[in-house]
Structure 1
Amino acid sequence: MNLHGRHYTRREIEARVGRIEQVGGIRKMMLTEGNEAGSTVLQVRTGAGLTFDVMPEKGLDISSASFGAGSLSWQSMNGDAHPAYYDDQGLGWLRTASGGLFMTCGLISAGSPSQVDGRAYGLHGRAHHTPARQVVAEAWWEGDEYELRIAGIIEETSMFGGHLRMRREIRCRLGENRVTIRDVVENAGFQPCPHMMLYHVNFGYPLLSEQSRILFPEGGKVVPREADLPVEGYDRWDAPDADYLERVYYHELPSSSGDGRAEVNIHQPAFPIAAGHEQPVDVRLSWKTDTLPKLVQWKMPGAGMHALGIEPSNCDVEGMDVERQRGSLVMLAPGASVTYEMELTVR
């Protein structure tokens, strides 16, 4: 294990601690106040500076995430609201969406509210507000490496309305600032089912400041969702502006890459590691493009809504009805499955 700048064996680490959680690990907690009451938190510490909270009641999404003394993620004013308060109609999702590092939009629908075949689909689908079951939080030694794993099942079901099942696994290793997320979504029903999937990865202050640089995949076109929106400035971060209106951009990913992956990098030259101490930090989000071929960017440097959303997806964000009209709606066949893989690293 590489820890704090040197290599240790398992026994060398164990000789220095009463229990391994002194260095890092997984801790289960419960929130008790307001609309967060009843929400479980699986707090993960990697022992190398990265800490993040996994929320079983919110589809095993990742809420707060920090590195050293500074936050990496944007948190919404809703907090980690329990899904009992979720309103699935229209824009009701906005009242209980937590923000956080990682929000899942899907499994059947994502994007704007829409109505298809007499059925209403609210903003961004139900996954972020669906409690996981068969949740596993475990850590173990594998040779001289200490592995951390959280896993569970999230299902979107409705009689006569589809049955999608997602098996999620979140992995990291003590001493490394790297998180991998692997989702396998299968159609457990017996009819084809719409499947829209968008990962809303939300970054915020102090990772984002006017000094930050945002590096998108090269070689592709950038198209604003609104035709009258300028393209200039999509890769620049701005000071908070109470009058700023959200901007959404579609990034055309390069048609081929050597490893079949795309990535976005954020460089902050003065990230707060400890009180009075700053250093350069790079955050990289990478994903497999065979199943997530699209990239949506949500730019919102408003006041109080000061967030950058990097959103790998299999769809755009105008909703299911528009996807169907375009002929781009993904339909998952009965018994079929699709695998999604993402990785976040902090350096």
Structure 2
Amino acid sequence: MKAFSAANGPKLFLDETSVLDIGGCFVGDTDLSPGRAIPDDGDPRIDHSLEGFLFTCGPDHIRHPEPIEARHDGRKYPLHGSFSSHPAEILFWDAQGDDAECRARVRVTMATGEPALLERHWRIDGETGEVSLSDKVINTGRKPFAPVHMYHMNIGAWLFDDHVRLTGKMLEGGGFPWTFGKDPGGVFCVPAAGAGEPWAEIALGPIAAIGGLTLKVKFRADTLPHLQIWRNQKAPAHVLGIEPVSHRGASRYELAEKGELGLLKPGESIEYGLRFSFG
């Protein structure tokens, strides 16, 4: 893990062994990542990624395993896609001044055996403390594929008290307590923003464990038009996830049947963006 921080904002630990995702996310002395307080889905790649504050699903799959189209050997897309465990090649790293910035590329072999490339750009604004992530996925193979993408932002829910709420225009009533649904947890997925809105916003807080600060998350609504939220308090899990996502919560078969998957042709690219801050 490489420490990544600026004059203001959180101190992040970026995982070079897995897509340059975020392992630890420290606000002061408090790490918000869930660590081992996570469910075990039987995939060691995802077990490792889920421990951290943010990991990336895709570029070929985003949820639980489903059969690969046009295959007759029973092979499935892996849990949350192929990104996890692919190492990052760091191209630029500057965290010496007030701001912090790095660029990397990740060469990915998808479940079909075809290649893709992720170009990743992290930046922390030293004045505002806002963290920005810009991603470009490029089809470097010879066949089209359906691009899908999800950011898992996972927070250790033992840090929360009864005053912590989820707030956003996409939520029923504009927001509700973090303990939504029935115990020990659940999941929902909703449209993220109104028509024409370039960015969607969701907030979680105030979090007393980090001085009453609120986590504020923004994400590109054109390529991440849905927001999935989940929580799991079934021991040993104690985690809440904020998950901007490219597609609604439906099977690949249903999405394809309704023309919602789309295709990325060889040489084409698609971009995603995420920002977060504490205030």
Shorter chain as normaliser: what TM range? Answer: 0.7 to 0.9
Write the letter of the residue equivalent to 1:327. Answer: G
The residue number in structure 2 matching 1:53 is 13
Give the whole-Å Cα distance in 1 for the aligned partners of 2:217 and 2:132. Answer: 10
Give the whole-Å Cα distance in 2 for the aligned partners of 1:90 and 1:215. Answer: 32
The residue number in structure 2 matching 1:82 is none
CA contact (8 A) 2:6 2:95 kept: no
Provide TM-score, normalisation by structure 1. 0.70
Task: Decide which of 203, 208, 211 is 1:270's aligned counterpart.
Answer: 208
Q: CA deviation at 1:185?
A: 0.8
CA contact (8 A) 2:204 2:215 kept: yes
- The residue matched to 1:271 in structure 2 has which SS? helix
CA contact (8 A) 2:227 2:242 kept: yes
Within a 5 Å distance, the mapping from 1:119-134 to structure 2 comes to 119-134=75-90
Give the whole-Å Cα distance in 1 for the aligned partners of 2:112 and 2:62. Answer: 19
- The residue matched to 1:183 in structure 2 has which SS? strand
CA RMSD of aligned residues (A): 2.8
The residue number in structure 2 matching 1:6 is none
The residue number in structure 1 matching 2:152 is 200
In structure 2, the CA distance between the partners of 1:73 and 1:315, relative to structure 1 (3 Å rule), is same
1:254 maps onto 2:196 in alignment: no
The residue number in structure 2 matching 1:276 is none
Write the letter of the residue equivalent to 2:190. Answer: H
CA displacement, residues 235-270 of structure 1 (integer Å, 9 cap, x when unaligned): 32349xxx9444110112332355x11111112252
Q: CA deviation at 1:91?
A: 4.8
Q: Which moved more, 1:66-75 or 1:187-196?
A: 66-75
Q: CA deviation at 1:308?
A: 1.2
Task: Decide which of 196, 209, 212 is 1:280's aligned counterpart.
Answer: 212
In structure 2, the CA distance between the partners of 1:112 and 1:267, relative to structure 1 (3 Å rule), is same
Which structure is higher in RCO with an 8 Å CA cutoff and minimum separation 6? 2
Structure number with larger C-alpha Rg: 1
CA contact (8 A) 1:108 1:156 kept: no
CA contact (8 A) 2:124 2:132 kept: yes
Q: Across the two proteins, how many residue pairs are aligned to each other?
A: 271
Give the whole-Å Cα distance in 2 for the aligned partners of 1:93 and 1:316. Answer: 24
1:213 maps onto 2:165 in alignment: yes
The residue number in structure 1 matching 2:93 is 137
The residue number in structure 1 matching 2:52 is 100
Q: CA deviation at 1:339?
A: 1.1
The residue number in structure 2 matching 1:291 is 223
Q: Which moved more, 1:157-166 or 1:114-123?
A: 157-166
- Give ranges in structure 1 of 5+ residues lacking alignment: 1-40, 79-88, 223-233, 273-278
Write the letter of the residue equivalent to 2:266. Answer: P
The residue number in structure 2 matching 1:236 is 177
CA displacement, residues 101-149 of structure 1 (integer Å, 9 cap, x when unaligned): 21101111111101122242111012122111244322355xxxx3311
The residue number in structure 1 matching 2:31 is 71
- The residue matched to 1:331 in structure 2 has which SS? coil
- The residue matched to 2:99 in structure 1 has which SS? strand
Write the letter of the residue equivalent to 2:204. Answer: I
Task: Decide which of 308, 311, 316 is 2:240's aligned counterpart.
Answer: 308
Write the letter of the residue equivalent to 1:122. Answer: P
Give the whole-Å Cα distance in 2 for the aligned partners of 1:58 and 1:154. Answer: 9
1:42 maps onto 2:17 in alignment: no
In structure 2, the CA distance between the partners of 1:76 and 1:196, relative to structure 1 (3 Å rule), is farther
